[in-house]
Amino acid sequence: MSFEVYKFGGASVSTADGVRNLIAILNKSTSKDIIIVVSAMGKITNALERVVASYFESKELCVEAIQPVIEYHFSLAEDLFENHATPVFKKLQRLFEELNGFLNRNKSPDYDFVYDQVVSYGELLSTTIVNAYLSENGFASVWHDVREYIKTDATYREGKVNWELTMQNLSTELPKTGIHLMQGFIGSEANGFTTTLGREGSDYTAAIIAYCLNAKAVTIWKDVPGVLSADPRYFDHAVLLRFISYQEAIELAFYGASVIHPKTLQPLQRKEIPLFVRSFNDPDAPGTQVSLGQAIEPEVPCYILKKNQVLLELASLDFSFMAEENIGEIFKLLGIYKMKVDLIQNSAISFSVCVDNKFKNLEVLVAKLRADFKVTVHQNVNLYTLRHATSESIEILELNKEILLKQVAQNTVQLVTL
């Protein structure tokens, strides 16, 4: 018997009604062997990031920042459980005591290490609540600490999976039937310290588990109808994509489509495990299927926006050409300072690169680059990507925008704008 993997995002379980709706979805499922992967609730990851930031400022600010996180989880639990003597309240209290204990004991000045140890509590808290509610409603679900199964290297905030060890753990230590509940987003390294898989990494967790266990399918339950041709927050012509091939979904994710995590698709494609993106609010709707087949259906232009990017324009100081050794040095520095490269464009005398400064290393990177290059920095730019572009869709995209850079490749157009 093969498992199905269900992943529930933070928006799906951000309220007591959301948790109740998760029960309704399980009641409708025809599968009895399910692995449930749950993200941190609501905006708790953001709230815990503020805890980390305040930790490096002052103890008083840290205590203040953690209080809303405590209040949120206990309030949600009180909405779900009438009997406040239910063990879940003690379990939540223990988790917060653990978190505070780490913050009081820790001596490491490594921001990324502290980030992973703290932010991971969002998933531990959410799965503790969800599992208790499942048990109270007749589901014999088993709570697992996913860190015992998914092993990574010690690259904090971007843990690289040790596939051999992870597969061995999941295939030999996890029971082969029943309902099992795990956390998304987190794993652990060789010394047992928590690592995270990158923001929005819970989708990736579901794919890792599915790959290692040869799952029948993965379903990501979202607060949207499925994969849309554009983010309706920024574009007014979004339509539901009923079918996407693995390759097209990988391209969309790479360019920044937010519905599917960029690393999620490749393990599923390797074993041809279908992925469904379905509406948490309308579980009977078909949503989007990602599997083998034609690129997309319907075939329409797809618009993607990445905000708050940085455009770097470089030229040599002595007016020489931008040769291979120059570009090699630039990419070496981009790697050292963990810059996610979204677009590059070069000519004989210039090199432009649009990057995501997620690790806040821009200032030191630019200082290093200026030792050898003339550098112009444009911060807070927008990167638009248009897949399956038509002349009409390009006109719509360019309308009333100040374009700093434009790149056209086959059926993909990218614009960097102010």
Residue 293, pLDDT > 90, answer no
Mean pLDDT across the chain: 95
- How far are the Cα atoms of 25, 173, 184, 358 from residue 3, in angstroms, in the given order? 16, 15, 17, 35
Residue 80, pLDDT > 80, answer yes
Residue 8 pLDDT: 97
| Residue 213: CB atoms within 10 Å | 18
- Residues contributing to the annotated binding site: 7-10, 45, 123, 233
Residue 254 pLDDT: 85
Residue 1 pLDDT: 58
% the chain with pLDDT above 70: 100
- Residues contributing to the annotated binding site for substrate: 45, 123
Residue 112, pLDDT > 90, answer yes
Q: Could you give the maximum distance between any two Cα atoms of the chain, in Å?
A: 75
Residue 259, pLDDT > 80, answer no
- Please give the full DSSP string across 324-360, using - where no structure is assigned: HHHHHHHHHHHHHTT-EEEEEEE-SS-EEEEEE-TTS
Which residues does residue 218 pair with via DSSP β-bridges, in sequence order?
5, 275
Residue 84 pLDDT: 85
Q: Give the mean pLDDT of 130-140.
A: 96
Q: Give the mean pLDDT of 63-89.
A: 96
Q: Give the mean pLDDT of 86-96.
A: 97
String of b and e for 278-307 (b: at least 16 CB within 10 Å)? Answer: bbbeebeeebbbbbeeebbeeebbbbbbbe
Residue 108, pLDDT > 90, answer yes
Q: Give the mean pLDDT of 97-114.
A: 97
Lowest mean pLDDT among 47-51, 293-297, 379-383, 412-416: 293-297
Residue 308 pLDDT: 96
- Residues contributing to the annotated binding site for ATP: 7-10, 233
Q: Give the mean pLDDT of 358-363.
A: 93
Residue 18, pLDDT > 90, answer yes
Lowest mean pLDDT among 97-101, 168-172, 177-181, 229-233: 229-233
Q: How far is 305 from 326, CA to CA, in rounded Å?
A: 30
Which domains are seen in the chain, by residue range? Answer: 4-223 (3.40.1160.10), 302-417 (3.30.2130.10)
Classify 373 as helix, strand or coil: strand
For strands 403-409 and 296-297, give the pairing: unpaired
Instruction: Judge contact between 228 and 302, C-beta under 8 A.
Output: no
- How far are the Cα atoms of 100, 101, 194 from residue 107, in angstroms, in the given order? 14, 12, 16
Residue 140 pLDDT: 94
Q: Give the mean pLDDT of 248-277.
A: 89
% the chain with pLDDT above 90: 89
Of 300, 275, 299, 301, the C-alpha closest to 288 is: 275
Q: Give the mean pLDDT of 294-312.
A: 94
Residue 79 pLDDT: 97
